[in-house]
Amino acid sequence: MPRYEYSRYLQGRYEVHGRDFVDAGLVSSQIKKSLKDKGIHEDIIRRIAIIAFEAEVNIISYATFGTISYYLLPDSIVFEAIDEGQGIDDIEQALEEGFSTADDSIREMGFGAGMGLSNIKKSSDVFEITSEIGRGTCVKSIIMLNGKE
Amino acid sequence: MTLSEVRDLLEADVVIGGEKLDQEVHTAFGADLMSDVLAFARSGCLLITGLANLQSVRTAYALDIAAIVICRGKALADSFLETAKELGIPILWTPLIMFESCGRLYQAGITGCVREILIEEKTRAKI
């Protein structure tokens, strides 16, 4: 779906900074609180919270800067994480469970098991990822509300 | 089982969430790796972990986990406790190791929130 078709449904946009390990998970918590206030079904909120958490950890671990945005449409939630960073060389490999290039600072935080991207994919109804080496990565997820509002 | 029964079984201190001790739990997940908790744990379960940082609290919040048991007597930072309080996650603290904590809970009827991880045959064949 082209962005112009859903940009007017923007609900929140958050900045995430590379190597900012202490804040990992903060955006996830903020999005969750905001969706709870809007009365979205708890199963949907949990999936968005997982997607946001994994996306944040990825930006903090591998990028210099990124933005996380989410859009509340009448029938779905669109989630986007766009970063400026090293990019992903082999997306298929990065999506394999257990594949990780995490360093110790990421593992000390409790992450870097190589589950992130596959968990985002698993939690999404529609999942898209594009990446350019030396430029950055863009992850987009769509979660259908299916009347669960 | 209620959180107060969990507390008694694990000789634990309730550090946050004393008002939620009547809450029932039936399942649990034990890990220090939040990547795996986010991928495999289920809502309403008890999380047993030695990772007492902001990420374990936020992970519990993301997944609607009923309560966190901090095992191995790990030190609790103020920022950890404040975040747990703010997000409404009960924290139980025990000097018991993870194995002992899980064993006592299992013996008392708590089961894993998932029994095993489904591995594709082709992946398993490589192992």
**Backbone dihedral region for residue A98 (phi beyond 0: left; psi -120 to 50: alpha; all else: beta):** left
Q: Which CATH number fits domain B3-126: 3.40.50.2000, 3.40.50.300, 1.20.120.50, 3.40.1390.20?
A: 3.40.1390.20
What ipTM was predicted for this assembly? 0.93
Fold assignment, A17-144: Heat Shock Protein 90 (3.30.565)
Please state the domain extents for chain A.
Answer: 17-144
Residue type, A56: E
Q: Give pLDDT tens digits along chain A (149 positions).
A: 677 789 999 999 999 999 999 999 999 999 999 999 999 999 999 999 999 999 999 999 999 999 999 999 999 999 999 999 999 999 999 999 889 999 998 998 899 999 999 999 999 999 999 999 999 999 999 999 986 65
Cβ <8 Å between B58 and A118: no
Helix (H) or strand (E) holding A95: none
Residue of chain B whose Cα is closest to the Cα of A116:
B35
> Model pTM?
0.94
What integer is the mean pLDDT of B63-78?
Answer: 98
Per-residue pLDDT, averaged over B60-72, amounts to 98
Residue among A26, A28, A113 whose CB faces B33 most closely = A113
- The pLDDT of residue B124 is 82
| CB within 8 Å: B62 and A116 | no
**Distances, alpha carbon B42 to alpha carbons A123, B14, B34, B74, B75, in Å:** 13, 22, 13, 24, 26
